[in-house]
Each structure stands twice: as C-alpha cells, then as structure tokens.
Structure 1
Amino acid sequence: MARHIYSCPLRWSDMDAFGHVNNVVFLRYLEEARIDFMFRLAPGDGSPSFSGGSVVARHEIDYVRPLVHRHEPVTIESWVTKIGAASLTIAYEIKDPDVTYVRASTVVVPFDLEAQRPRRISAEERSFLEEYVDDGMSSAA
C-alpha cells in the first residue's frame, strides 16, 4: 500500500494567540494534501478523471498534539480507506517523523459540475485509488 506524501508549509497567519497552529487551519492543510493527491491523476496526460469536481461530504479530525509554528514544513500522509460507487474516504496523518499532531478523514464525492449532481467513480479513478487503499491507520504518536 502506498501513501501520498505532501510537505505542507506553515504560515505565520496559521498561528493562534498561543503560538500553535489554529484548529481550523488543519482543514486547509488537509485540503492542500487532498488536492495534491487527487489531481495527480488528471493533469498532464489528458485524463478527465477528478477534473470535473468533487465535494466534501464529511470531515473527522482528532487533534493528538499541538503543532507549534515553525519555519519547517510538516508532513501529511494520505491514503484511501474506502471506495464506494460514488464516494471515497481519505485518511490522513499530519506529522513529523517522531510525532503525530492530527489524524483525520474526509469523505469525498465526485461531482458533475455541469449537471450539478454527484457522479459515480470511474474505472480509471478506482484503479488509481486502489493503489492507495489501506483500512488501518498508523499507530505512531
């Protein structure tokens, strides 16, 4: 099973009054990692997969440890835990090599922007996603 690795920069504006990355900012980090992961299939090779749009149906976030603002990026690992007919679940860990700050998951629904309705996952998308399937989360803390 492969994991998608995204190096996410921390921004000065991400910090709260206590010098920690604010809890709502982690959603933006997850979005950056998810976009970087899902759109690796579409651009460049002419594939229409995932380029039509998608919507977030659900987020779950467990804040494990505070992340203090610093100049070095944080690593976000992403993988797929479920592929349905018209949705998928992506799991994440926001971490450094020796500590995990956040564990999260997102349910994503492919969306037909023209028709303004959800659509099924294509065979090409399913094949891409299956390379990243794992139903368990890392136990690193």
Structure 2
Amino acid sequence: MDAFGHLNHASMVTLLEEARVPLLFGTAAGEGLADFAKGIVVVRLTVDYRAPVVVEGGDVRVDITLSELRHASFTLDYRVHNGPSVEDGVAVTARTTLAPYDLGGGRPRRLTEREREFLLAHIPSGGEL
C-alpha cells in the first residue's frame, strides 16, 4: 500500500505477474509445455490507472486476454477490477508483451506451434489475431 492506502505500482505489477504465472507456467506445464516455465521474459509493460485499487482484505478480479500473437512474442491485456466481480469497476488496464527465452543460449526464441495453439486455446482473444 502507498501512503494513501492504495495498492502501489510495484504491488500492481506483481499482481499482474501473479495473474499470468499459473496459466503460463502451471497449466502449460501440465499440458507438456514445460519450456514456458523455463523462460518467458517481459519485453514491454504498460499500466494505466483509472481509479485507485484499495485492498481491505478482499479480492480483486484480473481478466486477461490475448491481444497479439506473433512468432516470437505475444501480448496480454489485463483488466483489474476493484473487487471480485466483473460488475466491480475497472480500476487498472495493463498490457505486457512477453517473449519466450532460451536461458541456455541467452537469447529470445520463437514460439513453437504447440505453444501458439496453447495460447489461442486458453486465453480469450481481446484483439485481432
């Protein structure tokens, strides 16, 4: 929390990460795509605040959509609601562009066809793909 009792920026970025990690690492690994957990890096991050997020022991809702899918990166859009329901107002919108990364080689890599299929199957499209 910041001095005003709002979720601060660093915590918001962590919240976004916590929203995508179970899907990209847990669900993907469960479907045989362990390379996601071995290396995905954030290439770009933008966060737009519409309203303060005040957490008083309650939940917030984070909706994630796939807005762009390229051969070596993909972009996720986030809508953070000020409560657990879609009816709760959207307080934050954000976007991350992520790229698969070859840790051993020390460089970005292309998405495999199975990884692309996974993303299309598990994340609703929020843009033109």
Shorter chain as denominator, the TM-score bin is 0.7 to 0.9
Which ranges of structure 1 fall in alignment gaps of 5 or more residues?
1-14, 137-141
3-state SS of the aligned residue for 1:24?
helix
The partner residue of 2:14 within 19, 23, 28 is 28
2:31 equivalent to 1:41: no
2:102 equivalent to 1:116: no
Shift of 1:17: 1.2
3-state SS of the aligned residue for 1:69?
coil
Q: Residue type matched to 2:90 in 1? A: T
Which structure ranks higher in relative contact order (CA pairs < 8 Å, sequence separation ≥ 6)? 1
The partner residue of 1:90 within 57, 76, 80 is 76
3-state SS of the aligned residue for 1:129?
helix
Q: Relative to 1, partners in 2 of residues 1:66 and 1:109: Cα closer, same or farther, differing over 3 Å?
A: same
Q: Which residue of 2 aligns with 1:134?
A: 126
Which ranges of structure 2 fall in alignment gaps of 5 or more residues?
none
Deviates more, 1:127-136 or 1:116-125: 127-136
Q: Relative to 1, partners in 2 of residues 1:60 and 1:17: Cα closer, same or farther, differing over 3 Å?
A: same
Q: Which residue of 2 aligns with 1:139?
A: none
After TM superposition, the score normalised by the length of structure 2 is 0.86
Distance 1:87 1:115 in 2: 17
Give yes or no for contact 1:54–1:111 (8 Å, CA) kept in 2.
Answer: yes
Distance 1:35 1:55 in 2: 12
Distance 1:59 1:51 in 2: 19
Distance 1:49 1:125 in 2: 9
Q: Please list the CA deviations of residues 5-43 of structure 1 after superposition, one character each: whole Å capped at 9, or x if unmatched.
A: xxxxxxxxxx1111111122110111111212212111x
Give yes or no for contact 1:49–1:124 (8 Å, CA) kept in 2.
Answer: no
2:31 equivalent to 1:53: no
Give yes or no for contact 2:101–2:109 (8 Å, CA) kept in 1.
Answer: yes
Q: Residue type matched to 1:41 in 2? A: A
After TM superposition, the score normalised by the length of structure 1 is 0.80
* Alignment coverage as a number of residue pairs: 121
Give yes or no for contact 2:24–2:37 (8 Å, CA) kept in 1.
Answer: no
Q: Which has the higher helix share?
A: 2
